[in-house]
Amino acid sequence: MSTASRFPPMLTAAQMIMHNTGPSPPHALCSQLSYTAQTYLHRTSLPHTTQSLGIASILLRHGLVSNLTLGSTEGPLPAAFDSLPQKDRRIWIYHKFRNGLPVLRQMRLISKPSVRRIIDRQELGRLLMGKRAKSVPGVGMGEILVIRTRNKGKDVYMDGWEAWRAGLGGEVLCRVS
């Protein structure tokens, strides 16, 4: 048996991003948004999941991206979104640029599949004040923490200050600046 038939064809990073139609784990979402912003791509798409929509809406509320649109794998098509099968539904994110530089500078994963970083409200308060908690460095100027909490059996995504005001803790997914 030849090696060409044993292994699938290699894809470039851009092809992997465009062909990703399954659920997007947090590390894939963080790396895709950072990569597309740093390479000056004006838009990118993510699979339509609760996680993608929650994190993207936090980025939109904080002004790190300019627009979110529903669509398909071919492009933004809000009118046809409801008639698409689930695997073809995408969230299109438009990056924001200021003075020729991306506003979304970096997006780093904190909680990994091998080491989950789950904190309570007091520890979240320490992080938001810039102090270390549970081996997570404190938040710096202009940084946002993305927290995943559970409410009535569903995942809810909030930024750090929203979760703290609501009196909630949760899993610290990533930090964005």
Q: How confident is the model at residue 151 (pLDDT cuts 50, 70, 90)?
A: confident
Per-residue pLDDT at 11: 41
What residues have CB less than 8 Å from 26, skipping those under 6 apart?
A: 51, 55, 109, 111, 173, 174
Q: Please tell me whether residues 88 and 150 are part of one structural domain.
A: no
Residue 4 within any structural domain of the chain: no
> d(Cα 50, Cα 22) in Å, to the nearest integer?
13
Residue 1 within any structural domain of the chain: no
> d(Cα 110, Cα 95) in Å, to the nearest integer?
22
Q: How confident is the model at residue 32 (pLDDT cuts 50, 70, 90)?
A: very high
Q: Please tell me whether residues 141 and 167 are part of one structural domain.
A: yes
Mark 46-85 as b/e (b = at least 16 C-beta within 10 Å): bbbbebbbbbbebbbeeebbeebbbbbbeebbeeebeebe
> d(Cα 38, Cα 104) in Å, to the nearest integer?
8
Residue 42 within any structural domain of the chain: yes
Q: Please tell me whether residues 60 and 77 are part of one structural domain.
A: yes
Residue 158 within any structural domain of the chain: yes
Q: Please tell me whether residues 160 and 119 are part of one structural domain.
A: yes
- Summarize pLDDT for 91-145 with one digit per residue, the tens: 999 999 999 999 999 999 999 888 999 999 999 999 999 999 988 999 999 999 9
Per-residue pLDDT at 24: 65
Per-residue pLDDT at 78: 92
Q: Please tell me whether residues 93 and 164 are part of one structural domain.
A: no
Q: Please tell me whether residues 144 and 95 are part of one structural domain.
A: no
Residue 67 within any structural domain of the chain: yes
- Summarize pLDDT for 46-84 with one digit per residue, the tens: 999 999 999 999 999 999 999 999 999 999 999 999 999
Residue 2 within any structural domain of the chain: no
CB 105 within 8 Å of CB 36: no
Q: Please tell me whether residues 41 and 62 are part of one structural domain.
A: yes
Q: Please tell me whether residues 44 and 124 are part of one structural domain.
A: no
The domain of 31 spans 9-102
Domain total for the chain? 2
> d(Cα 41, Cα 117) in Å, to the nearest integer?
31
Per-residue pLDDT at 49: 92
Q: How confident is the model at residue 26 (pLDDT cuts 50, 70, 90)?
A: confident
pLDDT at residue 19 above 70? no
Q: Please tell me whether residues 44 and 115 are part of one structural domain.
A: no
> d(Cα 149, Cα 158) in Å, to the nearest integer?
8
The CATH number assigned to the domain holding 85 equals 3.30.1370.30
